[in-house]
Amino acid sequence: MNASPNPASPADAPLPLIAVTMGDGAGIGPEVVVPALLDQDTLGRCRPVVIGDAERLRQAARLRGIDCRIVPVATPQEAEFTPGRINVIDLDLLPADLPWGQLSPVAGDAAYQYVRAAAELAMSGAVQGICTAPLNKEALHAGGHIFPGHTELLAHLTGVEEVSMMLATPTVKVIHVTTHIGLIDAVNRIEPGLVERTVRRGHEAMVRAGNPNPVIGVCGINPHAGENGLFGYGEEEEKIVPALEVVRADGIDARGPLPADTAFFLAGRGDYDLIVAMYHDQGHGPVKVLGLEAGVNLTVGLPVIRTSVDHGTAFDIAGTGKADAGSMIEALRQAAEMSSVPAR
């Protein structure tokens, strides 16, 4: 029997089709994908189809002691959703004896190909969203694909010049003005236009997820948000304040610049729905303390929905069957939630 429709949807509306990329086959991606796609709550929200390697998924199922059927399909539309079945578009790129937990150019190239295929499906409308298992950046580069990570790769594949990374946990959500660049480069890159666009993307994502009036806290760059010029060289007044004035004039409730150390404390107790971080570690550090196990990575600004686990390939435990699938289940939940809402 097919999964029943989402209670929040019309009775005859199908659940969204989500392309799930398997990630780096030498990491824990296959081990978290298998249980996540068998989760009953997942199947009640979406119709997930893996883009990956069928035999590697079977190996992962055996490692975890899971009895299921891994069934290759040619297209998402051919997939059948019955208990104990996982549908996979099998690109068949990995050798059967690929070692677990070891960096592999072959696995790096395969991880790229999974994302490429998923992006093509999403851009054509064959799926309504993408959910990605982790890839390894070093393996990706060794496989001949020089991208800092999923965010930049998907922007390239979908023809988008600028996107934002958002991390979401049950406790706090954060969107980044800059991500995978050095700290000095990040400070130099931050300017009012970029801050404004990031705040707007964050606001739109929150509205799409069902919060029509989010309260957004915007971090400063310097300790204590500069404390009126005591720290730094006036970066907050030059780079952030003008952006906030523009978005507030459009009715967006963006507050700041805020000292980052207190902003996350206040967000954790519910004062802010979203925090805007200026650089990678300013946002990632608190999120990983406050909710890594259930964390989800969203790419905001793409023409397609994309969510991901908020953890890496974990080569140290890959192949042991110990990986926690909680973040993948949550990533699929959020992909389904956002994909089922018509674009505004």
Both tokens assigned to 34:
């298998």
Q: What are 280's strand-pairing partners? A: none
CA angle 336, 341, 344 (to 5 degrees): 140
Q: What local confidence, expressed as pLDDT, does residue 12 receive? A: 55
What is the 8-class DSSP label of residue 239? Answer: I
Contact 120, 303 (CB under 8 A): no
Domain ranges of the chain: 1-160+302-344, 167-291
For 183-231, the pLDDT digits (tens) are 999 999 999 999 999 999 999 988 877 789 999 999 999 999 888 888 9
Contact 205, 236 (CB under 8 A): no
Residue type for position 160: V
- Report the chain's mean pLDDT, rounded to a whole number: 91
- Its CATH architecture, for the domain 1-160+302-344, is 3-Layer(aba) Sandwich (3.40)
Measured on CA atoms in the order 222, 228, 229, 234, is the torsion positive or negative? positive
Distance of alpha carbon 168 from the chain centroid: 9
Does the fold of domain 167-291 match that of domain 1-160+302-344?
A: yes
* Side-by-side strand order, sheet with 69-72: 69-72, 85-90, 47-52, 17-21, 129-132, 305-309, 296-300, 164-168, 173-176, 274-277, 215-219, 253-258
Q: How far apart are the first and last CA of the chain?
A: 33
For 227-285, the pLDDT digits (tens) are 888 898 899 999 999 999 999 999 999 999 999 999 999 998 999 999 999 999 999 88
Residue 119 has pLDDT above 50, yes or no: yes
Quick one: residue 301, left, alpha or beta (phi over 0 = left, psi -120 to 50 = alpha)?
Answer: left
Contact 5, 12 (CB under 8 A): yes
What is the 8-class DSSP label of residue 14? Answer: P
Contact 174, 283 (CB under 8 A): yes
For 44-93, the pLDDT digits (tens) are 999 999 999 999 999 999 999 999 999 999 999 999 999 999 999 999 99
In the chain, what's the furthest Cα-to-Cα distance?
65
Residue 103 has pLDDT above 60, yes or no: yes
Tracing tokens 């570690």 back to the chain, one arrives at 281
Higher pLDDT, 10 or 16: 16
Residue 5 has pLDDT above 50, yes or no: no
Q: What are 307's strand-pairing partners? A: 131, 298
**Coil/strand/helix, residue 95:** coil
How deeply is 204 buried, as exposed, middle or buried, from its count of CB atoms within 10 A (0-12, 13-18, 19+)?
middle
Contact 275, 176 (CB under 8 A): no
Contact 145, 108 (CB under 8 A): yes
Q: What local confidence, expressed as pLDDT, does residue 95 receive? A: 98
CATH number 3.40.718.10 is the correct assignment for the domain at 167-291 = yes
- Please give the Cα distance from 175 to 1 (Å, whole number): 40
**Which of these ranges, 6-20, 249-263, 329-343, has the smallest mean pLDDT?**
6-20
Residue type for position 288: K
